[in-house]
Structure 1
Amino acid sequence: MQSEASIITTTLTQVVALAGGLGCLGWLLLGFPGKLSHATALRFALANLLLVVGVLLVLRRSDDVTPLAFWMDYWAADVLLIVGIACFRDGVNGLLRLPSSRRETLLVVAAFALVLALIPYPDVTIRKRGILFSITLALLVFRIAGDCLRQGDGQIARLPLRIVATVFAALGLALSVRGLGLAFWPETAVQLESTSVGGSIPFLWTAVTALLATNNALAGLVVAGLLQKIQHLATHDTLTGCLNRRALDERLRGAEERSRRGGGTFGVVMFDIDHFKRINDRHGHLAGDAVLQCVAGIMRDQLRDRGVIGRWGGEEFLILLDGADAESALATAQRLQSALATTVWQWKGESVPLAASFASDAAVAGRIDLQALDRALYRAKAAGRNCVVAVERAAPAVAAMSPAPAVTECCIEVPPPAEGPKTAS
């Protein structure tokens, strides 16, 4: 029986070392090609290394304890395990682009190491150090779960984040149960794990499960982030960050379908940057790229969550306004045109005014007439640029077909700003 237990212990120890080693190597490989931040990859790799070393030190524990073995196998082993989880948390914060929690984590680790050092040699009873270890580790993993739930920059979808949060919350719950068991039912808890002596099979199974669950959950999080990044690149213009033409077409078809089914409406605004070729010819194509980025940023700031903007082609953009009618679409176009016209763009110390010609329309019978919108935009250009032209539709005659849409000029004179122009660089 002893031989069988020894074989199981040796096998599980090898599995722990293999899982941690592969996790360390895997994170390093993900970091060096640039698929993952180097700093994040190194933290995850270091976490695996520290956890494996900590587990191996725990397995060296025995009843015959020297002062050196006491500090190495009891104090250092537990501290390394805590620091390993702390590295995981630091890496998760970097992966999710959250504010650094390093100060808080270091404070927790330092407090744990100090309190653990107060347990005098040769006291190797598991209860005191087990309660302290379980509480500290549970706090860290619960904090990781909370970090996953509060991530809100949209870099990673919510479902993978919730799955990872559930994994860490489960680990935290298990550690909490362990701490409570050692606090209130010490005899039963000690018999179940026996980590005070080498070759604890329950401890090894726990280590294997925790390593695999943590690394797999975080690897899934990284993959989810990469997939979302690929999807973003497939649907967004790389220069301006707006939707690209393909994604915009899909949004437009979806809005038309919803309008036909539900009877609602939506508006559109199309605009074209005035004298864009002149800017390219005079200042260069890098300046033209900067203008496109600047204009897209101004439009997003003005729209916020009230519309979706996409690059229709070249210097031409299209905005979808959900729930807008013709009047509100026109009002939005006027507001956007005024905001852009009162902005002066800076390029290498030279001030260049920005302006665009706008056209607006709203869906009729669940459909947008893009040709009529395009003609309205050309009319805005012909009317002197830097103005808004709305597509108006005459009421249909009784028992007659609806006439073709007519374009009505609605040019807006932009007064000079009262406090000087806004500056965009």
Structure 2
Amino acid sequence: MPTMSKAALLLSVILLQQVLFGLLWTVAARLRLARPAALQWALAAWLLAAGMALVLLRGQAPAWLTVAGANTLLIASFVALRRGVQRFARCAPTDREHALVLALALAGAGLAAVVASRASLLPAVMLGAAGMGWTLLRAAHEVRRRLVGEFGRTAAAWCATPLALVAALIVGRGVMAPFERELFTNYVTRPGGGNVPVAFSSLAFGLVLHVNLTALVLLRLVRRLQYRSDHDMLTGLLGRRPMEQRLRTETQRQRRFGGRFAMLSIDIDHFKQVNDRFGHAAGDAVLVRVAQTLREAAREVDSVARMGGEEFCVLLPGADRAGAEAVAARMLDAVRALRHPEAPDLAPVTVSIGLALVDAPAEPLQAVQRRLDQALYGAKAAGRDRIQCAAAPTSADPAVCA
């Protein structure tokens, strides 16, 4: 019984590796973890495993099948890999480009099958190397460019680098084929292609690539869960818990470095009447529209949260009284100007706003909250659709904003 070469042994390990990754991505797709991308990556792993199986048959099956056919499967695998990257990165597909690359690979395989000589395999090998290298380099570029914003430069580089290195190995081997006849002969006739360093590098880079892709999928899942934990699902604003954390952080920052900040407590006037007259679906639509308006009227540095029901809170870092009043007035006017098609005969929806300026580092956050609540109650008692400034920490009565 012939002994398996080191290159063939390594390719056998790659074949097993790709089968396992194919199963992994199939399970991920069933669990709806990045399903569109996972389906493509599972297909890529299965096609790569099939290509490795043909490479292991070199010297035992027809060369056009084990060389040109294997290269075609490998190109199809890399195309599926790139399509998965495009879906994961939410970028436009390039299916025409993929079709052209596959057509060239099939043309090389057809030429090799018709001519059926070793010389005819050289164009197929070079076309295959060019197609694989191009597809992998393009995938590496898309990973590097499109995933930086979501995952950062380091994570994007970790995913792009294995793709680029495998592309360089494949292209280098294709370029050397016409000049290294012995290398080309071994590549065509020996199981595994007879090149241990290339086989070992492909094994290592394939492992790193799939591990990194898995890490990105899990990282996106964690961030999505974190987002859902921190944000109100109806309005998309921050929830109560993260807003309270930001308030504590801002208070600690003020105590350490000084400065000031302001808070707004906002309540939709007579919101219960909207639900009672038009139903909860209409009420939800009004809530979403008001929440979006508050977010748009706030400054970029401000944090806007839904604290529960029809109550909202806005944190304005570094704002003085005039700046906070300007933001509150902008919100008041913008909400009043809204129109709600779900409730056509409804009077304009308005909000009451309590405003508290925090410029005393020693004031506890609970005391600030009490002043803010009193200001909001004062705005309601004074007739609603207005802004009420909270009393200073040493004053007993709230002040009406100008």
Q: TM-score, normalised by structure 2?
A: 0.85
1:249 alignment partner in structure 2: 244
Residue range with higher mean Cα deviation, 232-241 or 205-214: 205-214
Matching residue within 350, 358, 363 for 2:353 = 358
Q: Deviations over 1:99-128 (max 9, x none)?
A: 333344334444554467567734545764
Matching residue within 226, 231, 236 for 2:231 = 236
1:97 alignment partner in structure 2: 90
Q: Distance in 2 between matches of 1:405 and 1:104?
A: 73
Which stretches in structure 1 are left out of the alignment for 5+ residues? 394-401, 412-425
2:394 alignment partner in structure 1: 403
Matching residue within 134, 145, 150 for 2:129 = 134
SS of aligned partner of 1:365: coil
Q: Deviations over 1:151-176 (max 9, x none)?
A: 36976566533432333333344445
Q: Distance in 2 between matches of 1:322 and 1:154?
A: 25
Taking a change above 3 Å as real, the CA distance of residues 344 and 10 of structure 1, as seen in their structure-2 partners, is: same
Q: Distance in 1 between matches of 2:96 and 2:260?
A: 51
Q: Distance in 1 between matches of 2:345 and 2:93?
A: 39
Q: Distance in 2 between matches of 1:205 and 1:53?
A: 18
Please say if residues 238 and 304 of structure 2, whose CA atoms lie closer than 8 Å, have aligned partners that are also in contact. yes
Taking a change above 3 Å as real, the CA distance of residues 328 and 25 of structure 1, as seen in their structure-2 partners, is: same
Please say if residues 157 and 228 of structure 1, whose CA atoms lie closer than 8 Å, have aligned partners that are also in contact. no
2:13 alignment partner in structure 1: 15
Q: Letter of the aligned partner of 2:54 in structure 1?
A: L
Matching residue within 77, 82, 87 for 2:80 = 87
Matching residue within 261, 271, 288 for 2:256 = 261
SS of aligned partner of 1:271: strand
Taking a change above 3 Å as real, the CA distance of residues 273 and 171 of structure 1, as seen in their structure-2 partners, is: farther
Tell me how far 1:215 sits from its aligned partner: 1.8
Please say if residues 181 and 189 of structure 1, whose CA atoms lie closer than 8 Å, have aligned partners that are also in contact. no
Residue range with higher mean Cα deviation, 236-245 or 107-116: 107-116
2:58 alignment partner in structure 1: 61
Please say if residues 28 and 42 of structure 1, whose CA atoms lie closer than 8 Å, have aligned partners that are also in contact. yes
Residue range with higher mean Cα deviation, 112-121 or 213-222: 112-121
Please say if residues 344 and 352 of structure 1, whose CA atoms lie closer than 8 Å, have aligned partners that are also in contact. no
Q: Distance in 1 between matches of 2:358 and 2:111?
A: 74
Tell me how far 1:244 sits from its aligned partner: 1.3
1:312 alignment partner in structure 2: 307
Q: Deviations over 1:12-53 (max 9, x none)?
A: 34322321211111111111133332x322211111111111
Q: Deviations over 1:85-107 (max 9, x none)?
A: 11112112222333333344334
2:27 alignment partner in structure 1: 29
Please say if residues 391 and 405 of structure 1, whose CA atoms lie closer than 8 Å, have aligned partners that are also in contact. no
Taking a change above 3 Å as real, the CA distance of residues 365 and 218 of structure 1, as seen in their structure-2 partners, is: same
1:194 alignment partner in structure 2: 187
Taking a change above 3 Å as real, the CA distance of residues 265 and 176 of structure 1, as seen in their structure-2 partners, is: farther
2:48 alignment partner in structure 1: 51
2:323 is the counterpart of 1:332? no
Q: CA RMSD in A?
A: 3.2
Tell me how far 1:224 sits from its aligned partner: 0.9
* Counterpart mapping for 1:321-400 below 5 A: 321-347=316-342, 353-366=348-361, 369-391=368-390, 393=392
Tell me how far 1:81 sits from its aligned partner: 1.0
SS of aligned partner of 1:343: coil
Taking a change above 3 Å as real, the CA distance of residues 62 and 389 of structure 1, as seen in their structure-2 partners, is: same
2:272 is the counterpart of 1:280? no
Between the two proteins, the alignment pairs up a number of residues equal to 394
Q: Distance in 2 between matches of 1:181 and 1:404?
A: 85
Please say if residues 68 and 108 of structure 2, whose CA atoms lie closer than 8 Å, have aligned partners that are also in contact. no
SS of aligned partner of 1:403: coil
Residue range with higher mean Cα deviation, 212-221 or 151-160: 151-160
Residue range with higher mean Cα deviation, 49-58 or 89-98: 89-98
Q: TM-score, normalised by structure 1?
A: 0.80
Residue range with higher mean Cα deviation, 152-161 or 90-99: 152-161
1:397 alignment partner in structure 2: none
Tell me how far 1:272 sits from its aligned partner: 1.0
1:419 alignment partner in structure 2: none
Tell me how far 1:341 sits from its aligned partner: 1.0
Q: Letter of the aligned partner of 1:83 in structure 2?
A: A
Q: Distance in 2 between matches of 1:123 and 1:365?
A: 88
Q: Letter of the aligned partner of 1:95 in structure 2?
A: F
1:121 alignment partner in structure 2: 115
SS of aligned partner of 2:339: strand
Q: Distance in 1 between matches of 2:327 and 2:126?
A: 62
SS of aligned partner of 1:389: strand
Q: Distance in 2 between matches of 1:146 and 1:216?
A: 19
